[in-house]
Amino acid sequence: MTETSKSLISLRINGQDIAAPESLSVIQALWYAGYPRVKGVGCLQGVCGSCRVFVRRAGRKDVTTELGCELLIDEGMDVHFLSYPAAAHRKYRLEDIPISWDVQAKFHDIFPEAAHCRHCNGCNTTCPKEIDVQRGVELAVEGRFREAGEEFVECVMCNLCQTACPESITPNHVALFSRRVTAHFHTRPSNLINRLEKMRKGELQVKE
């Protein structure tokens, strides 16, 4: 069967009517239709996670978030690529944390909003990789940085989680911090670090 005789699927991408063979991804369908989309497709620039899209499938009212490189096209699908300014990066140097005992306190200095999570599940709902984002943030707040980093292994830094957060938490950057400090230090037990942080705040009284 030649390419021209393959069954074509009709869909809309960014308001444009497109017909492309089945089994193509959204990005491949764009290329097939002659749209040389480069902006917003991070893998072409060496950074994954930028091909985030809103999707509404035919006959359904709900809108989901996906990645254009993974999403296979379907008849009547309506797709819009998302483009928005990324949140400001949190600047810190691991060299400024002298010992691992101070990691949790430093974390709360850098990400003070992380402790204000409303548990609304918005970040989990928007994550196209089905990461338990909310749980990862909770682990970091508790000082369990190794576990927090492991929770985000599949993260591609698409930033969708932070756009869904009413407290302006940046979970993907919380994840990066967690993985970096875990690699930088032989981090002491999280329950011990957590107790020390409570002592520092005066929340835990220690008898002389």
User: Sheet harboring 52-56: ordered strands across?
Assistant: 16-21, 8-13, 78-81, 52-56, 64-67
Domain holding 30, by residue range, is: 3-81
Arithmetic mean of pLDDT over the chain:
84
Interval 129-143: pLDDT, tens = 999 999 999 999 999
Q: Kindly report the CATH number assigned to the domain that includes residue 156.
A: 1.10.1060
Query: 82: which residues sit within 8 A by CB, 6+ positions away?
Result: 40, 52, 53, 54, 65, 160
Interval 6-40: pLDDT, tens = 689 999 998 899 999 989 999 999 889 888 765 55
* Pair (36, 108) in one structural domain: no
Interval 102-139: pLDDT, tens = 999 999 999 999 999 989 998 999 999 999 999 999 99
Q: What is the pLDDT of residue 88?
A: 59
Report which DSSP code applies to 69.
T
Give the Cα separation of 172 and 158 in Å (integer). 8
* Pair (104, 192) in one structural domain: yes
Position with higher pLDDT, 200 vs 162: 162
Where is mean pLDDT largest: 60-69, 81-90, 195-204?
A: 60-69
Banded model confidence at residue 1, pLDDT cuts 50, 70, 90 = very low
* Pair (114, 173) in one structural domain: yes
Q: Kindly report the CATH number assigned to the domain that includes residue 74.
A: 3.10.20.440
Instruction: Scan for tokens 């509404």, then name that residue.
Output: 56
User: Among the three residues 32, 50, 81, which one is the final residue of a domain in this structure?
Assistant: 81
Whether 86 maps to a domain, the answer reads no
* Pair (31, 107) in one structural domain: no
* Pair (101, 177) in one structural domain: yes
Q: What is the pTM of this model?
A: 0.69
Query: 205: which residues sit within 8 A by CB, 6+ positions away?
Result: none
End-to-end CA distance of the chain: 83
Interval 49-82: pLDDT, tens = 668 888 999 999 888 888 888 899 999 999 998 8
* Pair (117, 158) in one structural domain: yes
Report which DSSP code applies to 80.
E
